[in-house]
Amino acid sequence: VNTQAVFSLRGKPLNCYGLTKKVVYENEEFNLIQAALDIEEDMDNLRYNRIVIATDADVDGMHIRMLLLTFFLQFFPDLVKRNHVYVLQTPLFRVRNKKKTIYCYSDEERRNAIAELGKNPEITRFKGLGEISPDEFIHFIGEDIRLEPVLLTKDASIDSILSYFMGKNTQERQDFIIDNLRVEKDLAEATASEESDELEIAS
């Protein structure tokens, strides 16, 4: 099947964890998603084999991604269990010269692209899909599209997952974030240290 469609959301969707399916009919965005996929009754008439969540590559984008995953896991878990749900990885950088453009999804790819293109390439950092034109978007949703499947282990408890990430245990999540957070400065220092080690090895 070669049919594709793009469905846009207006703002952040509702956190539907703990709500009943009644909200799917009362919330316009959720109702439209349900209708577009044709999954109101069951999965038999699923209109698209791959449901791809495409959000900005920033904190707000991650939040929207979590809210959409909560919607699918809460009300349509079989979509995830049957491997229909994916997350689109959008590039963080564009590195180009007059002859070639390379889209990069990590700092390592950015460094490799700079080395490949040589002296003084133009480097653009993307923070969201809104900064990418439709003409550019088509370049990374083709054969080389980077999709991460949303997977559940056999012993995973959907309710436990949603309760932890989307429930009212704010302090517990805050402590987890504080204990595991790495800010851009830390990442930059780690990258610089790795590059220094590489230079020492090369010399």
Cα distance between residue 27 and residue 151, in whole Å: 26
Q: Could you report the per-residue pLDDT of 65-89, keeping only the tens digit for each?
A: 999 999 999 999 999 999 999 999 8
Residue 203 pLDDT greater than 60, yes or no: no
Confidence of residue 140 (pLDDT cuts 50, 70, 90): confident
The pLDDT score that the predictor gives to residue 51 is: 94
Residue 124 pLDDT greater than 80, yes or no: yes
Residue 185 pLDDT greater than 60, yes or no: no
Instruction: Specify the residue for token string 């509702």.
Output: 14
Most confident listed range (13-22, 176-185, 186-195): 13-22
Cα distance between residue 62 and residue 72, in whole Å: 16
% of the chain beyond a pLDDT of 70:
87
Burial of 184 (0-12, 13-18, 19+ CB in 10 A): exposed
Instruction: Judge whether 97 and 122 are in contact, CB under 8 Å.
Output: yes
Q: Could you report the per-residue pLDDT of 94-107, keeping only the tens digit for each?
A: 899 999 988 888 88
The first and second tokens of residue 117, run together, are 């293109």
